[in-house]
Structure 1
Amino acid sequence: MADNLNADLSCPICIDFFTEPVSLECGHSFCRDCILNASRAQGEPTGSIACPQCRQNTARLAIRSNRLLANIVEGFQRLWQPQPAGSGATPAQCQLHQQELRLFCSEDLQLICRLCWSSDAHSQHSCTAIKSAYTACKANSIQLLQKKLNEYRDTHTATGLKISETLEHTNRLQEQMAAEFAELQHFLQQRERALVQRLRAVAESAVNQLVENMALISERCVLIEQALEEIQSTQEQTQFLREIKGILQRCDLQTKPALKTPELHLGEFNGPLQYTVWKQMLNIISPAPVPLTLDSESASLDLVLSKDQTMVKGRSKLKEFSHHAKRFSNYGCVLAREGFTTGKHYWEVNVESIDEWIIGAVKESIDRHSAFALTPSNGLWTLRKWNGNIYGPHHATESECCQNMNLQKVGVCVDYEGGQVSFYNADDMTHLYTSTDRFTEKIYPFFLPFPETMTKGVLKLFHLQL
């Protein structure tokens, strides 16, 4: 009942207890200052006032003070809002207008007086009496803070999960890296053991041959020593001359021992050992550079391919070609013949002679006859060079990898199961950008050399020559 009476004794304009209430000819009552300020704010004629509730005009001189209503309001305030005995408390006042703060602005979240509410700063804001504002503001604040608290708790939990996922992923990558390096180390260790064993076998054979030579030489030395002793011991002249021929023949001075000449094959062990092992190592490296070829059936009409289908450049004069469903008709691009549905694959592209290009991978079902954004959402995972800068697949400033970088050769790696397309500076294998996604169909290498900007330059697939 008190709440209903409180509402009946409140001015419809300031939503607070009437102060100097006045009544219009229509019977509605307002605070004197409220109705006059409202009339001025609405630009009403100086001689009349339109009721804010029913819009009936009342002559300004016909406004009557409502003393009965004023007395009722005063009595209600004394009855229901008495001051605490001996408290000496005084209502808070507006520092700007020195009036009691009776309203709460829900837009600015601050207490205001009646004059503040009628000012330009708050006239368009939602303002309510303190008592009702307290309940609503408290409930709204609790609801807002609880919502934010729940959001931050969810974010905190999600961040914790992300940390766990990151650590798990890092551990998996570390194990994978360790396994790959272990494979290389195992290969090198095997090659080292094999070469050491080979060297030892060759050395042992050479030593054995030299030992045999020493034995032959020792036998010949014994024969010579015996001949010397025999010659020295013979004193009778006739006997010496008769036997000398036989003595010399037994020494076999005319023929040399059949000595062997062992070889250590220095070229095998002291040549370009590291390069030799590196070439042998390519048999176990995965992924090794794939020798791609371009698919002429997919090439745009403004491109021309080399005979071996490893180079592409812009066509100076368009030629008539048969229509093919695989041919791109809206972009000057071409695909490779080779596509991938599993595993890791790496290829390199020489781009040193062209200024602008887009290189990457696309899904097999890509639309080849319509204009569309070359983004992952459309099935393209690319790197782009434009105005000397390198960009990721969205071609946005925030995805820029590096500025004014003169790339000579680009490396592209597709990890089908891992859902990654990574790009590298193939000269030093510096990582440039990685795009992640989930692949569900065949993936093809993609090349767009911007034929309209090409003069004599060509885009060339790199084939590793061994």
Structure 2
Amino acid sequence: MATAASAPALATTSKISLREDLTCAICCDLFREPVMLACMHHFCKPCISRYWRGFQGPVSCPQCRKEFSTKEFQTNYLVAAMVEKVRVTTSDSYLKNLEKQLRDTLESHRLRKEDFMNSVRRDKDKMDAIKRAGADLQARVKGEFQALHQILQNEETCMLEQLRREQEEELEKVQRHLEAVKLAVRELEDNMRALKQASANTESVVLTELPQLRQCVQVDTAPEFDINTFSNKYMAPLQYITWRKMFKSLKPGPSPLTFDVDTAHVSIYVSRDKTAAAECDVVVPHTDHSKRFLQCVNILAAQGFQSGQHYWEVEVTSKPKWDLGVASESVDRRARIKLSPESGYWTLRMRNGSECSAGTQPWTRLQLSSSLQRVGVFLDCEERRVSFYNADDMSLIYSFTNGPRGKVFPFFSPCINDGRQKPQPIKLLHYPPVALLG
């Protein structure tokens, strides 16, 4: 079977054989006006006419020498068409054009192959990147859970050690009382033996006094042991207690933020404990301060961050309109500026109760799987990442990877109310609400 490489050679050989079949035996060139004799041999019409010109009687075929009584031949149009096709396909211009087509087709295939090879390399690079990222993320996940395991292990060890000590203390109390009682029993038994012996001797000897007896040991009252008191702390909801304690060890743990009243726009009311902020119709009397927002209904948290990882949660409940995120310390607080990373803001916004967008320019519209009641904000200063989560199921809403440099503050805007319903506050959530000791 011929290979792809030998196909052109076979085609060339076929053309050479065909050219030979279509060559006049008289002029040794391709037929010109091919005619066929009765013997079926072909010649150029001019060639055979010239060949027969000197014959006066019968003529013969120049090839097979067969004689014919008359000079008769028949034009062969099929052979003429074949000759013309061979003449065209073997011409220099045709061959040059064919060679050019071959070169162009070959180059096209080469370029296409190069594109495919580049695509293969890119896909392999992507696979390597995915594997590296997966390995890094696996290490990160294992590290995070290892830290949680360690916290639980430490809590378990501490509680078991406390239980062991308390058990030993109770056992020691009872053991001391038991030893005292046993000693008292032995002394009483010794006295009883002495008394029995004295009683037996009265039959032969007049007893004038009691025998010498040991002084009885004073035994304290048996220590009280209340099984309920001993067990109650270990029969408590240990998982919940430990979960509460874990918050003190989480890194990052939920940051207990409070609002900075000195930054609040005059249309923002802040609760006494500084954990709730709402837009109001009347101007709230605030002292003049250089940190205050003058044009936009904004407010910052009192706590700022410039290193490490930090997480906090904000309750937005049914508010139809709000903005929240982080803002650089250096943002212009006197002018009305669009919220975008270029202006020093990395935010999430809500409009009309369901239209959620990321604070890019232009805004990036986001699709939510459920309504937002609580929003979690995660700030990684070293990685320059600001991420927003649905705090009810911790599903990622959006993440900025070109986060801030330098010091930033948690940012909030309750926005201007449309007046159709009572303004709802933005609330800062604290977990756990009460710090546990121990």
Category of TM-score, reference length = shorter chain: 0.5 to 0.7
Aligned to 1:71: none
Q: How far apart are residue 182 of structure 1 and its match? A: 1.6
Closer, same or farther: CA 442–205 of 1 in aligned 2, 3 Å: closer
Separation in 2 of the partners of 1:201 and 1:163?
55
SS at match of 2:397: strand
Aligned to 1:460: 427
Separation in 2 of the partners of 1:387 and 1:316?
20
- 1:441-456 aligned at under 5 Å gives the runs 441-453=406-418, 455-456=422-423
Separation in 2 of the partners of 1:316 and 1:335?
20
SS at match of 1:172: helix
The alignment-based identity, stated in percent, is 26
1:299 correspondence with 2:297: no
Q: 1:180 aligns with which of 138, 141, 144?
A: 144
Aligned to 1:350: 315
Separation in 2 of the partners of 1:197 and 1:278?
19
Q: How far apart are residue 311 of structure 1 and its match? A: 1.7
Letter of the 2:323 counterpart: I
SS at match of 1:85: helix
Letter of the 1:295 counterpart: D
Q: 1:204 aligns with which of 168, 176, 179?
A: 168
Aligned to 1:217: 181
Aligned to 1:195: 159
Aligned to 2:276: 311
Moved more, 227-236 or 444-453: 227-236
Closer, same or farther: CA 306–204 of 1 in aligned 2, 3 Å: closer
Q: How far apart are residue 227 of structure 1 and its match? A: 4.2
Asked if the contact 2:325–2:377 (Cα under 8 Å) also holds between the matched residues in 1, the reply is yes
Aligned to 1:333: 298
Q: 2:402 aligns with which of 416, 437, 450?
A: 437
Aligned to 2:67: none
1:400 correspondence with 2:400: no
Q: How far apart are residue 219 of structure 1 and its match? A: 2.3
Asked if the contact 2:385–2:400 (Cα under 8 Å) also holds between the matched residues in 1, the reply is yes
Closer, same or farther: CA 175–307 of 1 in aligned 2, 3 Å: same
Over the aligned positions, Cα root-mean-square deviation in angstroms equals 4.3
SS at match of 2:376: strand
Separation in 2 of the partners of 1:456 and 1:137?
76
- 1:90-105 aligned at under 5 Å gives the runs none
Query: Could you list the per-position Cα deviations for residues 275-294 of structure 1 after superposition, in whole angstroms to 9, with x for gaps in the alignment?
Result: 44334333321111112222
Aligned length: 343
Asked if the contact 1:313–1:451 (Cα under 8 Å) also holds between the matched residues in 2, the reply is no
Instruction: Answer with 1 or 2: which has the greater Rg.
Output: 2
Closer, same or farther: CA 326–426 of 1 in aligned 2, 3 Å: same
SS at match of 1:402: coil
- 1:270-289 aligned at under 5 Å gives the runs 270-289=235-254
Q: How far apart are residue 156 of structure 1 and its match? A: 4.9
Asked if the contact 1:356–1:384 (Cα under 8 Å) also holds between the matched residues in 2, the reply is yes
**What's the TM-score once normalised by structure 2's chain length?**
0.64
Letter of the 1:436 counterpart: T
Separation in 2 of the partners of 1:148 and 1:311?
63
Separation in 2 of the partners of 1:161 and 1:334?
45
Closer, same or farther: CA 268–165 of 1 in aligned 2, 3 Å: same
Query: Could you list the per-position Cα deviations for residues 63-96 of structure 1 after superposition, in whole angstroms to 9, with x for gaps in the alignment?
Result: xxxxxxxxxxxxxxxxxxx976154999xxxxxx
SS at match of 1:452: coil
Q: How far apart are residue 414 of structure 1 and its match? A: 0.5
Closer, same or farther: CA 456–229 of 1 in aligned 2, 3 Å: same
Letter of the 1:174 counterpart: Q
Aligned to 1:168: 132
Query: Could you list the per-position Cα deviations for residues 342-363 of structure 1 after superposition, in whole angstroms to 9, with x for gaps in the alignment?
Result: 1111111121252221211123
Closer, same or farther: CA 420–393 of 1 in aligned 2, 3 Å: same
Closer, same or farther: CA 271–323 of 1 in aligned 2, 3 Å: closer
Q: 2:346 aligns with which of 381, 399, 403?
A: 381
SS at match of 2:417: helix
Closer, same or farther: CA 84–372 of 1 in aligned 2, 3 Å: farther
Separation in 2 of the partners of 1:357 and 1:142?
62
Separation in 2 of the partners of 1:172 and 1:391?
31
Query: Could you list the per-position Cα deviations for residues 256-301 of structure 1 after superposition, in whole angstroms to 9, with x for gaps in the alignment?
Result: 4564456784344333433443343333211111122223333223
**What's the TM-score once normalised by structure 1's chain length?**
0.60
Structure 1: 5+ residue stretches without partners: 1-81, 91-129
Query: Could you list the per-position Cα deviations for residues 356-382 of structure 1 after superposition, in whole angstroms to 9, with x for gaps in the alignment?
Result: 212111233334455554334443322
Query: Could you list the per-position Cα deviations for residues 373-400 of structure 1 after superposition, in whole angstroms to 9, with x for gaps in the alignment?
Result: 4334443322223333263415889742
Separation in 1 of the partners of 2:422 and 2:259?
20
Separation in 2 of the partners of 1:327 and 1:135?
79
Separation in 2 of the partners of 1:158 and 1:142?
24
Separation in 2 of the partners of 1:418 and 1:444?
17
Letter of the 1:429 counterpart: M
Asked if the contact 1:293–1:336 (Cα under 8 Å) also holds between the matched residues in 2, the reply is yes
Closer, same or farther: CA 321–279 of 1 in aligned 2, 3 Å: closer
Asked if the contact 2:262–2:291 (Cα under 8 Å) also holds between the matched residues in 1, the reply is yes
Structure 2: 5+ residue stretches without partners: 1-79, 89-93
SS at match of 2:263: coil
1:85 correspondence with 2:49: no
Separation in 1 of the partners of 2:394 and 2:205?
90
Separation in 1 of the partners of 2:267 and 2:100?
69
Separation in 2 of the partners of 1:285 and 1:275?
15
